[in-house]
Amino acid sequence: MDIAAQIFGIVGMTCNILVFQQKTHKKVLLWQFFAAVSFCLNYFLLGAVVGGMLNLVGALRSVVFFFKEKTKANSIGWLVFFILAFASSYPLTFLAFGTEPTTDKLIIEALPVIAMIIATISLRLGSAKAVRFLGLFSSPMWLIYNCFSGSFGAIASEILNLISIIVGIIRLDIKKRKE
């Protein structure tokens, strides 16, 4: 099972890297969907429950924002729904899934929840530039969580994500502004 988990982490890593190199918001969302599904499987197979739940909701979030005209994703209701869904995964990790609430776990399990809320706000803003910029804040939180969950693909993903975010900002935001 651990090998399968790590394979899903590597697939998620590949998809995540591609997110930050997209020029359009729709393509960002498409690659985020594939990354979320892959990481959902990765985390659940590793027993990292909060990571799995967050990515399950994250996959749904990508679909809702991808079809924003049909789903009315720009309504404040969806933003509130996703923030509440992400925030709810935190207590569920301890109450429903039996994760022991040690001081370390209480802190570590909160980091990806905060990161997903930041990412949701960036998607709601509707620009690839916002996704890149706010990724500078959410990615380090995931990196710390991944170190504790043991997902090698996710650890590599966040390191490469940070590099990709910086490259994307330079290539698509800073260079474009100079031209």
Closest residue by Cα to residue 71 from 29, 108, 111: 29
Domain that holds residue 160: 2-178
**pLDDT over threshold 90, residue 37:** yes
Q: Using CA atoms, how far apart are residues 32 and 135, in angstroms rounded to an integer?
A: 12
pLDDT tens for each residue of 84-98: 999 999 999 999 888
Mean pLDDT, the chain, integer? 90
Q: Which residue has the tokens 């985020």?
A: 32
Q: What is the DSSP track for 60-97?
A: HHHHHHHTHHHHTTTSHHHHHHHHHHHHHHHHHHHHTS
Determine the pLDDT at residue 179.
Answer: 65
Global pTM reads 0.85
Domains held by the chain: number: 1
When mean pLDDT is compared across 48-57, 66-75, 80-89, 90-99, the lowest value belongs to: 66-75
pLDDT tens for each residue of 154-169: 999 889 889 988 998 9
Confidence tier at 43 by pLDDT (50, 70, 90): very high
